[in-house]
């Protein structure tokens, strides 16, 4: 077996009996699900290939539309081919290291926790050639006797301490997910990061606000720019149910991941991938929008209750961040808020906090006392003073 289903060796008494959920144990896509994903991959390819012509037709500044700053070197402006093979979609998460953690090696490549015994080569090969047949058996062989997950268990347990179970992040057992079982949840580093973001939104009163929005307006609409493979959208939807309307805005190459991941895991119910000139539906569950179509949808996407950006504004150009900030101002409801988790830690990073600060007069850094959050760079922004958010140091204390 890839990871022994039996006990994992660990000093932690907690981890002693935990099983690991392997790639081989996931649910595989049905042929019908794969076919539908392939159709969406074609539409995403159309969005990618058509970006230049769209910008020319609609007078969109290419400097805003095409990947810039860190992403200029990650995503080619032309010539990319969107993968449609069964393996590439069925194991989507193996090629989606948006937060730096690579599932095939259960480690980061930039700051390694484990020796690079095979990791970089494997990641490069999967990225370049796609996912081969027999990947589950291959990882099985590579990882035999390497336990990279049980060290995460004590950390994970810290992140769910004092968090009501309905806010525990859960991931689907499909699309390439791998994790260690903890109280019915599949845990890996990406799950811990997502839990930390949910915890910050809990402490900041943002999740309470969305629940009030649903009670008042019958729905809560959330827009996320730079959604990666859709982890946060998946978690919010699991917590708030089908009255959450979630919009992902991203470069077509990344939107591919979120659209397929969220589409297939929610059976495409009321999910839409917009092509140019498509109408914006009045209501939806998931809406996927290519970044360069932001202007086209701006007047029809609101009112939005929450705008999100995590770990991505600093990687864009200052002009792109400013244009998203202005877009947020434009589409947010009067009592709408922005939640961001960003830090300019590398010399080329854009100081996105300064840009948001120039656009939103009210800022509340999230301070979590009762529950744990990972990164000390989470803020809530608003255009006007909102007592329900700003009068509290930590909304979790209200639950005691
Ligand atoms: C480091 S990843 C973070 C993804 C996700 N938020 C997470 O934390 O896992 C950065 C994200 O920003 C997106 N991105 C980069 N440039 C963008 C742009 N100009 N417009 C919209 N999204 C962009 C990338 O495609 C990617 O989804």
292: CB partners within 8 A, 6+ apart: 51, 54, 55, 60, 64, 65, 66
Cα end-to-end span (Å), the chain: 44
pTM, full prediction: 0.95
Instruction: Please check whether residue 337 is in contact with residue 306, taking contact to mean a CB–CB distance below 8 angstroms.
Output: yes
Q: What is the Cα–Cα distance from 49 to 394, expressed in whole angstroms?
A: 46
CA-nearest of 269, 299, 305 to 287 is: 269
Structure tokens at 109: 């490549």
For tokens 């080329």, the residue is 348
Nearest CA to ligand 1 atom 19: 67
Structure tokens at 66: 């095409």
Tens-digit pLDDT profile for the chain (400 aa)?
A: 333 443 444 444 454 557 988 899 999 999 999 999 999 999 999 999 999 999 999 999 999 999 999 999 999 999 999 999 999 999 999 999 999 999 999 999 989 998 877 778 999 999 999 999 999 998 887 776 578 999 999 999 999 999 999 999 999 999 999 999 999 999 999 999 999 999 999 999 999 999 999 999 999 999 999 999 999 999 999 999 999 999 999 999 999 999 999 999 999 989 999 999 999 999 999 999 999 999 999 999 999 999 999 999 999 999 999 999 999 999 999 999 999 999 999 999 999 999 999 999 999 999 889 999 998 899 999 999 999 999 989 999 988 6
Q: Is 291 in the pocket of ligand 1 (CB under 6 A)?
A: yes
Q: Is 67 in the pocket of ligand 1 (CB under 6 A)?
A: yes
Q: What is the Cα–Cα distance from 357 to 33, expressed in whole angstroms?
A: 43
Residue 56 CA to ligand 1 center (angstroms) comes to: 24
Structure tokens at 272: 């839409």
Nearest CA to ligand 1 atom 12: 226
Instruction: Please check whether residue 309 is in contact with residue 338, taking contact to mean a CB–CB distance below 8 angstroms.
Output: yes
Domain ranges for the chain: 194-399
Q: Is 312 in the pocket of ligand 1 (CB under 6 A)?
A: yes
Residue 228 CA to ligand 1 center (angstroms) comes to: 6
pLDDT at residue 7, as a whole number: 40
Q: How many CB atoms lie within 10 A of CB 126?
A: 22
75, 254, 256, 295, best to mutate for ligand 1 pocket (most atoms within 8 Å of CB) = 254
The neighbouring-strand residues paired with 379 are 340, 365
Q: Is 248 in the pocket of ligand 1 (CB under 6 A)?
A: no
Mapping DSSP onto H, E and C, the string for 34-49 reads: HHHHHHHHHHHHHHHH
Pairing relation of β-strands 179-182 and 20-21?
Answer: antiparallel
The neighbouring-strand residues paired with 317 are none
The neighbouring-strand residues paired with 223 are 247, 307
The neighbouring-strand residues paired with 262 are none
Q: Is 224 in the pocket of ligand 1 (CB under 6 A)?
A: no
> Domain 194-399 in CATH: superfamily?
Vaccinia Virus protein VP39 (3.40.50.150)
Q: Is 96 in the pocket of ligand 1 (CB under 6 A)?
A: no
Q: Is 315 in the pocket of ligand 1 (CB under 6 A)?
A: yes
Nearest CA to ligand 1 atom 4: 228
Q: Is 251 in the pocket of ligand 1 (CB under 6 A)?
A: yes
75, 251, 259, 328, best to mutate for ligand 1 pocket (most atoms within 8 Å of CB) = 251
pLDDT in tens, 238-295: 999 999 999 999 999 999 999 999 999 999 989 999 999 999 999 999 999 999 999 9
110, 222, 250, 343, best to mutate for ligand 1 pocket (most atoms within 8 Å of CB) = 250
Mapping DSSP onto H, E and C, the string for the chain reads: CCCCCCCCCCCCHHHCCCCEECHHHCECCCHHHHHHHHHHHHHHHHHHHCHHHHHHHHCCCHHHHCCCHHHHCCCCCCCCCCCCCHHHHHCHHHHCCCCCEECCCCEECCCCCCCCCCHHHHHHHHHHHCCCCCHHHHHHHHHCCCCCCCCHHHHHHHHHCCCCHHHCCCCCCECCCCEEEECCEEECHHHHHHHHHHHHHHHCCHHHHHHHHHHHHCCEEEEEECCCCCHHHHHHHHHHHHHEEEEEEECHHHHHHHHHHHHHHCCCCCEEECCCCCCCCCCCCEEEEEHHHHHHHHHHHCCEEEEEEECCHHHCCHHHHHHHHHHHHHHEEEEEEEEEECCCCCCCCCCHHHHHHHHCCEEEECCCCCCCCCCCCEEEEECCCCHHHHCCCCHHHHHC
């Amino acid at each position: 077996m890839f990871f022994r289903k039996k006990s994992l060796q660990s000093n932690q008494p907690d981890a002693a009996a935990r099983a690991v959920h392997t790639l081989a144990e996931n649910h595989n896509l049905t042929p019908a699900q794969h076919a539908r994903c392939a159709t969406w991959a074609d539409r995403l390819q159309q969005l990618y290939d058509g970006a230049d012509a769209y910008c020319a037709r609609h007078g969109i500044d290419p400097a805003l539309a095409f990947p810039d700053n860190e992403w200029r070197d990650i995503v080619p402006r032309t010539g990319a081919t969107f993968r449609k093979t069964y393996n590439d979609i069925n194991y989507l998460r193996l090629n989606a290291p948006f937060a730096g953690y690579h599932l095939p090696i259960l480690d980061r490549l930039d700051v390694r926790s484990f020796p690079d015994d095979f990791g970089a080569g494997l990641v490069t090969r999967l990225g370049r050639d796609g996912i081969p047949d027999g990947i589950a058996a291959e990882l099985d062989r590579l990882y035999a006797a390497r336990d990279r997950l049980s060290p995460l268990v004590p950390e994970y347990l810290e992140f769910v301490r004092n968090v009501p179970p309905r806010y525990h992040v859960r991931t689907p057992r499909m699309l390439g997910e791998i994790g260690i079982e903890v109280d019915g949840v599949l845990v890996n580093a990406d799950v811990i990061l997502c839990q930390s973001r949910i915890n910050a939104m809990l402490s900041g009163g943002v999740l309470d606000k969305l629940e009030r929005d649903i009670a008042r307006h019958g729905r809560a609409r959330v827009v996320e720019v730079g959604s990666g493979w859709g982890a946060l959208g998946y978690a919010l939807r699991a917590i708030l149910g089908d009255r959450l309307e979630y919009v992902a805005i991203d470069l077509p190459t990344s939107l591919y991941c979120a659209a397929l991941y969220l589409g297939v895991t929610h059976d495409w119910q009321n999910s839409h991938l917009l092509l140019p000139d498509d109408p914006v539906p009045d209501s939806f569950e998931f809406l996927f929008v290519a970044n360069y179509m932001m202007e086209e949808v701006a007047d029809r996407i609101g009112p939005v209750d929450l705008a999100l950006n995590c770990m991505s504004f600093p990687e864009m150009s200052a002009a792109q961040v400013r244009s998203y900030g202005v877009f947020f101002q434009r589409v947010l409801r009067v009592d709408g808020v922005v939640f961001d988790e960003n830090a300019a830690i590398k010399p080329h990073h854009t100081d996105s906090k300064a840009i948001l600060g120039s656009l939103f007069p009210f800022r509340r850094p999230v301070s979590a006392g009762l529950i744990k959050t990972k990164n000390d760079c989470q803020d809530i922004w608003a255009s006007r003073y909102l007592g329900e958010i700003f009068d509290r140091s930590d909304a979790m204390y209200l639950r005691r």
